[in-house]
């Protein structure tokens, strides 16, 4: 069900960064919340919005034209817990250690803040090393898991006001970290102003998010959903934060989420000089034509081809009476299933290890979500791997499925 005001917003399309008029280059159609796993009693009142990606050629920012309100997305029953994956636990351990070695070196009694600290998967390493830290997390259920792991957490959205409160109570931060969160926040001006207050003059703001270059190259359109209001490139980060008083001084590609980028920023006045990597990656983006609208029109065509291929493959399996299930009820799968109109007639159920998702139904298409044990109990003929970004870990864990003749299908 649409809310009247939100339908109205569809016709006021402005770049969220520079206010330039923007035109979506594609419409994925009516979409539910990517993490809105629900019960049958909620089907009738399920919330939908139009998922329309757009590219602003003025400031080079890839964005969705309309994003549902944050309070709708990040609730007290937010079902995404970073620590469910072994690879993610390892990734965040390394992230914490690299931050400690490279950016906290020589600092006396440093203070680390994380925006969107989820279940504490990153900050727990600072807690274990007795480094002063504070997580900011709006979803109370994930924040409680973080606290149970010894991570000091405030259940709040980050804002200028909160930055002032933290500075008064705890002092300025040496480093602010964030992973898979900045791309969720439409109002980056508020974030940047908060960071200007919170960070020491020589402080670092380090964040990582899914990378536009990877998404375009792999046609991984499932990165596009309500929470990801932006998919960043270096050029976009430089343009966005440059106008808000920050300087991009380093960037490092990351393997997470099917291809991410870590960005290191400092205040404009800082003496830290950009690493040569920044120029190199900016040049690579230019070669990939990430600044041109034609790239996104080609991406749209690739999405349509990908949809056709997936639907044809699933229909063929159905025709031959094969059992097909989905593996991992990821937020990304919501875009694929709704865009391709794939429901329970093509996919019997989706197995997932997250207890909060089990017994519920997938957003929009209402495919049952079942525990992982249901997959093991009776292997299907085909499993569609929605957590394709965890492929290595999952293929290793499920070797037996292939041994007995089971097949994997990558949805993109
Ligand atoms: P993500 O792709 O956004 O990280 O979502 C991960 C989802 O996949 C989460 O719901 C947990 C689920 N999952 C499994 O069910 N089994 C697994 O082995 C892994 C790695 C993830």
**What pLDDT, in 10s, does the model give residues 14-62?**
999 999 999 999 999 999 999 999 999 999 999 999 999 999 999 999 9
CB distance 64 to 49 below 8 Å: no
- 393 within ligand 1 shell (Cβ under 6 A): yes
The pLDDT of 156-177, averaged and rounded, is 97
- Model confidence pTM above 0.85: yes
The distance from CA 188 to its chain's CA centroid, rounded to whole angstroms, is 16
Cα(351) to ligand 1 centroid in Å equals: 10
pLDDT for the residue 345: 97
Residue 112 banded pLDDT, cuts 50, 70, 90: very high
Q: Give the SS3 label for residue 174.
A: strand
- 369 within ligand 1 shell (Cβ under 6 A): no
Q: Which CATH architecture has domain 311-409?
A: 3-Layer(aba) Sandwich (3.40)
Tokens representing 323 are 């059992």
- 383 within ligand 1 shell (Cβ under 6 A): no
Cα(278) to ligand 1 centroid in Å equals: 32
Asked if 82-291 and 311-409 have one fold, the answer is yes
Q: Give the SS3 label for residue 401.
A: helix
Query: How many Å is the Cα radius of gyration of the chain?
Result: 21
Residues 138, 141, 147: CA angle, nearest 5 degrees = 90
The pLDDT of 370-388, averaged and rounded, is 98
Instruction: Measure Cα distances from 301 to 25, 221, 292, 337, 388 in Å.
Output: 11, 11, 15, 18, 21
Counting ligand 1 atoms within 8 A of each CB, the residue from 85, 228, 408 with the most, and so the one to mutate, is 85
- 391 within ligand 1 shell (Cβ under 6 A): no
Cα(377) to ligand 1 centroid in Å equals: 19
From the CA of 88, give the closest atom in ligand 1: 4
pLDDT in tens, 340-375: 999 999 999 999 999 999 999 999 999 999 999 999
Residue 6 banded pLDDT, cuts 50, 70, 90: very low
The residue contributing the CA closest to ligand 1 atom 7 is 330
DSSP codes of every residue in 200-236: EEEEEEEEEEEBHHHHHHHT-GGG-STT-SEEB-HHH
Instruction: Measure Cα distances from 371 to 38, 39, 43 in Å.
Output: 15, 15, 21
Cα(354) to ligand 1 centroid in Å equals: 8
pLDDT in tens, 252-286: 999 999 999 999 999 999 999 999 999 999 999 99
Q: Is 270 exposed, middle or buried (0-12, 13-18, 19+ CB in 10 A)?
A: middle
- 358 within ligand 1 shell (Cβ under 6 A): no
Confidence check: pLDDT of 201 > 70: yes
- Domain-wise residue ranges, the chain: 4-57, 82-291, 311-409
Q: Give the SS3 label for residue 56.
A: strand
CATH class of the domain at 82-291: alpha beta
From the CA of 397, give the closest atom in ligand 1: 18
Mean pLDDT of the chain: 94
């Amino acid at each position: 069900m649409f809310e009247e005001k939100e339908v109205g917003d569809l016709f006021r399309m402005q770049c969220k960064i520079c206010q330039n008029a923007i035109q979506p280059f594609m419409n994925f159609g009516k979409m539910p919340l990517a993490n809105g796993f629900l019960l049958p009693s909620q089907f009738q009142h399920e919330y939908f919005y139009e998922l329309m990606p757009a590219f602003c050629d003025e400031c080079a920012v890839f964005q969705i034209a309309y994003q549902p309100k944050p309070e709708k997305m990040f609730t007290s029953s937010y079902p995404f817990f970073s620590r469910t994956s072994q690879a993610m636990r390892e990734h965040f351990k390394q992230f914490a250690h690299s931050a400690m070695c490279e950016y906290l070196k020589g600092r006396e009694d440093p203070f680390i803040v994380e925006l969107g600290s989820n279940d504490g998967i990153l900050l727990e390493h600072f807690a274990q090393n007795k480094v002063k830290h504070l997580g900011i997390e709006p979803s109370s259920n994930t924040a409680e898991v973080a606290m149970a792991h010894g991570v000091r957490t405030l259940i709040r959205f980050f804002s200028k006001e909160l930055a002032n409160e933290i500075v008064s109570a705890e002092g300025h931060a040496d480093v602010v970290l964030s992973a898979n969160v900045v791309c969720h926040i439409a109002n980056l001006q508020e974030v940047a102003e908060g960071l200007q207050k919170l960070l020491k003059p020589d402080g670092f703001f380090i964040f990582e998010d899914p990378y536009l270059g990877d998404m375009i190259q792999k046609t991984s359109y499932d990165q596009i959903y309500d929470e990801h209001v932006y998919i960043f490139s270096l050029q976009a980060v430089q343009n966005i934060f440059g106008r808000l008083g920050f300087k991009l001084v380093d960037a490092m590609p990351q393997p997470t989420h099917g291809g991410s980028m870590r960005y290191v920023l400092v205040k404009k006045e800082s003496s830290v000089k950009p690493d040569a990597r920044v120029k190199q990656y900016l040049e690579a983006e230019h070669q990939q034509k990430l600044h041109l609208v034609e790239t996104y029109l080609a991406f749209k065509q690739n999405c349509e081809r990908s949809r056709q291929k997936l639907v044809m493959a699933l229909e063929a399996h159905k025709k031959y009476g094969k059992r097909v299930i989905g593996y991992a009820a990821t937020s990304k799968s919501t875009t694929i299933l709704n865009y391709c109109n794939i429901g329970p007639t093509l996919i019997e159920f989706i197995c997932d290890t997250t207890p909060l998702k089990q017994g519920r139904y997938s957003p929009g298409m209402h495919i049952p979500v079942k525990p992982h044990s249901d997959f093991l109990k009776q292997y299907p003929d085909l499993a569609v791997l929605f957590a394709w970004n965890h492929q290595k870990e999952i293929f290793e864990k499920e070797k037996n499925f292939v041994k007995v003749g089971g097949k994997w299908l990558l949805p993109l």
